Structure 1
């Protein structure tokens, strides 16, 4: 057996050889295989940039699992999807071309988004192939194509017909920058400094607020029922500064007597607590913000101002009237849009909602094996704390169209029939008249939340609506999207087929910079996988990924990649040494019958190692498996 190996291990040359041998069809999943099936519900990333180091960690974990299961005799499905729709892409396109979605025709903006997305998908595919991931590319799905989004629309129609989707006039979270409604799960909280303003409403009614711009929206004033300082105020009508309105002083146990003066103004709406109070006390609705983030006619002389302009002008007027008593700088958490980081507002609009059946979701989640198990508590906390249903309509363009129309004559909603799908109501008409007989309709121009696309991935890869096998075996994902992707997938799977989506869910952490902080351009600690591959090869990067612990954040460290590269050289040298000594050896079955003690000892060590590594891999302890091999 003559094998010639170079003295130095050349990762680029060796990896290129194997990449040329591995073809895309090599990992094809066969539904008809007699082997036990192992189906992985892989994450569809947003194709808004490059395949980053966080993606690399996640996909390394998936690939470790897929390859191990194949070695164990399973028929493995390792699909690849792309979650194209939504704000991430739209924001990038607006930035790239210096436009707003309203600056160009609707169809033109969508074309720009599609072209941008297709370009990024190809770049990301290239990195994934270079990493050696054993993806079945025949099972690739792209959510912006009709083959996929027609099924998103089908899921909408079926849930609507079950009464699980409805349209309602309700307070919603709104991003003024993106000019759209967003879900609770899409809010991030940013800490910083803000100003607490002490404002005199009446001689003995002083309120401390960080949102003076919402004073025209004040519909009540509240104090704690046990706060003896303000017992005499309860029931009094107080004039609201800068307005002609009055508001009554009421009692509520959720008022914090220790914050500010212990008196709060209830506005419609400053935050979710305001919404809660508004519902509880059946208060007036006075919305002063429109969906462009401008004050409307109910704000009186402040109409047309932005939130920032209104804050400055109202404070100026309060100061002139002697009502601004003092100001303090405090630490404050502000809810911001997850995508553009603009502070969110709460407005009231008619929107589409998905019913959140909390008990069903929690029961289903507890039937799934969570790795690590404590990650289940994150989902439980999120679901148990939910007060609103999931708002799924968006005032954007690049997303799955909501398959519905409104009758011009009677106003009744007409939702598409299954056989009409896919449809775009802004261009297509219903194929039958309204119940009132009218054939004149206005198409719904709102679109669906992108999570409506990605929350059915487990169903899509299983052949839905004609399921071939379900639930899937595994969902691998990051802990940052437990309250979105994991939550929404469980919700939709229960709603559509009344089954859990997967038997197991494995949660990975985030990748931090070498300084231990979140990677960001401003910190200059971002490392791209292509950069690592070019220097040390894909296998060294894969070893770094294996060294982490499932569920925990992982620090990227060049020294670990270098150590992995040196291990490869060591392993290569051992292989080269071995090959030199067995170059004339020809194996035959008879040799097995005449093993020497040293041979038996070596084989026993090998078998022990195989057993140990197998146990680690079955329990997703990739780092322990790597240590055992090293």
Structure 2
């Protein structure tokens, strides 16, 4: 098992203090010393350690241009490879400016795509936009005020399309600036004629299979936008206040089983509670739970008798401010056959009916039932054949059918009040009070909705649900918990209302007979409409004469005697979730293809993920995806929802280019935005703000510093001619190749698992701990002070070249601008060589050498003992003697130092002291200044077959030699003359 630098102490606790000659200068340095310093091989590179705020944006734009960001997608699609990866883009909505939610989503997708592309896959990623729907229509008409009310459907559609196109161009421009790889000239749009025609094809296939039907039933209705809504278009206000009431329905006919009891009293009423008084005029029944115990109770205040559930007597009495005395109890089933008088409409009777949806959680245990305004109520009406009369129009006002006292009143305001006053006048109101509860709102207008019966088109999800759930269980979810949430949402869905009463959308191409109202839709009519739409777009539904939409040739195949003028075209459009939910049919190249990945926010578990699944299962019996990746939402640094009024909105354009005040809002560039996305735990809520962005910028600058060190020390190095074979390298260099191979394997697995935060953590650990703090500190002396072409120097340069390549390729999907910028500064770069066109990490399995790990880690254990004994001091000022009994540990150390004493051995380099001695016995002539420390190391070889702990001693004493004026190590007889190693390095070099 690899145990990376297991015993190494943290750098911050023990500053090692060793510095090469190039890093120590003095104002009073002698000319002789300066001439030696001039022979040191200093790092040489123009790569800047950081970019100023003014440079960041311009540098990224230059890199995009020079590295061919816009051409990259087409290049990789043209490659000859059988490996395919498809990420189907969920279409963002074309109704506003780009925001950080877009950035989170698009950058996550781009990291995924770039990783797979670098690994040799031909990536399919077609960006798209959801272009229809009410929000766009409302925004497009917002500035027209009253003028909009008189506009025709075609005028509205024209305005809406123009608005959507502007939003698309603005969003697209931002996505490109963020470095998103795609074919931006071949995006998909839901208002594209070919897309619309394919959507209608899916609609008809579902209709033909019996999955789509028209019905008159209650649906969520938005009075503020005058259209039906799907559940995915609702948001719930937890602080909504309703006017709740207790009302009585006088008993007109006693239930047969209770007649002998009830006939004893002159006044018996059923007692109901509702939070929607305006629905009382639409009441058709009162429902009870058959198996629950009910009671007749006498009111202490009025003497009246009420029927209600026995379990609700105490709470109801408390709400009414009275006492209720139980006279008789009975089972709910005994209420069968009872009939009540309607409290507001004369001659209307309300039967008592059994129902399973009645609960005892609140209310009276008797449920006022208005089939036109409740889903469960409608089910009761269907079963018992009750009328489903809707007395509310599209704008949420009472119709003429509600009576003169209610006509034209808004049901949520003055209509509600009017009903309450009617109940009060008829002495049917017992109590009214405010009730705070969760209530559905229109997610667009943020105004309350109602449930209202109307004729709509529905997808019968009950027909599809079992198969949809079955195929969904075979889809992999990240995180895995999202699977359960989506299955639960799907299970609760009984039907899907897909019709909307607006102008900006894809029309439901159905004709209605003017006399009978019967719909006309069949294979011939649909084929004709789809042909027109594919050529001209869906505007034809509004612009062409009826005779062109329904020509004789089509009518003759239906009914030879009919004329086009006998029909009228429908006015409904398809729900935008049906729009986007059929995108797989247009985007995926093969009709049977499945995307490898769908990746969207968690709200899409009930939205696009689900609508895509239902349409795909309904038409081709399979899911449109193999994997679903679900991310969270973006919030402010304080975990709050972003709001302009609060002033915590983070604009991605300002993040990249800076605000008006560059001090308060500096230009961070796109890579900082991308780093923020990658390092965040995107599977929960993702926080963003100045502190987060500053931290991301600092992290990238630290990374740049490491990259600059590697680039600078690769000056004059050519991999093809100067590289050293791993077998001929120093063991510490071989060890670092081993570390790089392990890192490459782990980081690849993290990308595969969509754990981009883990990628960042692995990268930071490698760069900060293994490279900068450990390896670089060890090899600086060799890099700076050995002769330029010395194989020992070339050995660590070979590792630096490999490390730089591994590091840059590993973060390239996250920081593409920085990756390409680094390649532009490679001293041995071939012309026009780009990171993304040269593939993924090319680590070599030969690098993985478990045997040498023990030798290096044992040396590190000894080093930590040594450095821990001289905190804050320069390691080069000391000599170290290591005393180990003959055995395996001694043999391991001998692989690093053959001689008993050396100032140039591999072991000495790792310790960074001036001289290292390796002995089997403690020296007898220790100086008084010597310190002796004890340590031990657990040797683990052959996968645990060899496992033994061996002890050692470390003797530390000040060096007896002078400091070399060139390398600054204490290895020379005179401080005026370089050590033997340095003399050898500068031999033949001219000095002034």
TM-score normalised by the chain length of structure 1: 0.93
CA deviation digits over 1:442-487, x for unaligned, max 9?
2222111112221122232223xx53x6111111111101112111
Partner of 2:480: 373
2:635–2:685 Cα contact (<8 Å) kept: yes
SS at match of 1:588: helix
CA deviation digits over 1:512-531, x for unaligned, max 9?
22221222334432212112
1:8-407 paired onto structure 2 within 5 Å = 8-10=50-52, 11-21=56-66, 22-28=68-74, 30=77, 33-99=80-146, 102-192=149-239, 193-202=241-250, 203=267, 204-225=269-290, 226-229=292-295, 230=307, 231=330, 235-244=337-346, 245-301=348-404, 302-307=406-411, 308-356=413-461, 357-387=464-494, 389-407=495-513
Partners of 1:234 and 1:31 in 2: CA distance: 74
CA deviation digits over 1:116-175, x for unaligned, max 9?
111111111111111111122244111112122121112222222333322233332221
CA deviation digits over 1:264-308, x for unaligned, max 9?
211133332322332343323222112221112331121221112
Aligned-residue CA RMSD in angstroms? Answer: 2.4
Matching residue within 453, 456, 459 for 2:579? 453
Partner of 2:761: 627
Partner of 2:638: 515
Q: Which is worse superposed, 348-357 or 82-91?
A: 348-357
1:175–1:345 Cα contact (<8 Å) kept: yes
SS at match of 1:39: strand
Partner of 1:488: 611
Partners of 1:101 and 1:379 in 2: CA distance: 40
Give the number of equivalent residue pairs.
Answer: 626
1:504 CA drift (Å): 0.8
Q: Rg larger in 1 or in 2?
A: 2
1:619 CA drift (Å): 0.7
Partners of 1:223 and 1:543 in 2: CA distance: 59
1:540 CA drift (Å): 1.1
CA deviation digits over 1:187-220, x for unaligned, max 9?
3221123232122333533322211111110111
SS at match of 1:196: strand
Partner of 2:804: none
SS at match of 1:98: helix
1:590 CA drift (Å): 5.3
Stretches of structure 2 that go unaligned for 5 or more consecutive residues are 1-42, 251-266, 296-306, 308-329, 658-666, 765-992
Q: 1:540 to 1:556 in 2, by over 3 A?
A: same
1:211–1:270 Cα contact (<8 Å) kept: no
Partner of 1:597: 731
Partners of 2:276 and 2:147 in 1: CA distance: 28
1:407–1:414 Cα contact (<8 Å) kept: no
1:524-603 paired onto structure 2 within 5 Å = 524-534=647-657, 535-589=667-721, 591-593=723-725, 594-603=728-737
Partners of 1:549 and 1:577 in 2: CA distance: 30
1:612-623 paired onto structure 2 within 5 Å = 612-623=746-757
TM-score normalised by the chain length of structure 2: 0.60
1:425–1:444 Cα contact (<8 Å) kept: no
SS at match of 1:592: coil
Q: Which is worse superposed, 258-267 or 149-158?
A: 258-267
1:139–1:461 Cα contact (<8 Å) kept: no
Q: Which is worse superposed, 131-140 or 401-410?
A: 401-410
1:404–1:425 Cα contact (<8 Å) kept: no
Is residue 2:598 matched to residue 1:475? Answer: yes
2:637–2:692 Cα contact (<8 Å) kept: no
Partners of 1:264 and 1:154 in 2: CA distance: 43
Q: 1:500 to 1:261 in 2, by over 3 A?
A: closer
Q: 1:34 to 1:233 in 2, by over 3 A?
A: closer
Partners of 2:127 and 2:717 in 1: CA distance: 44
1:609–1:628 Cα contact (<8 Å) kept: yes
Q: 1:253 to 1:581 in 2, by over 3 A?
A: closer
1:627 CA drift (Å): 0.9
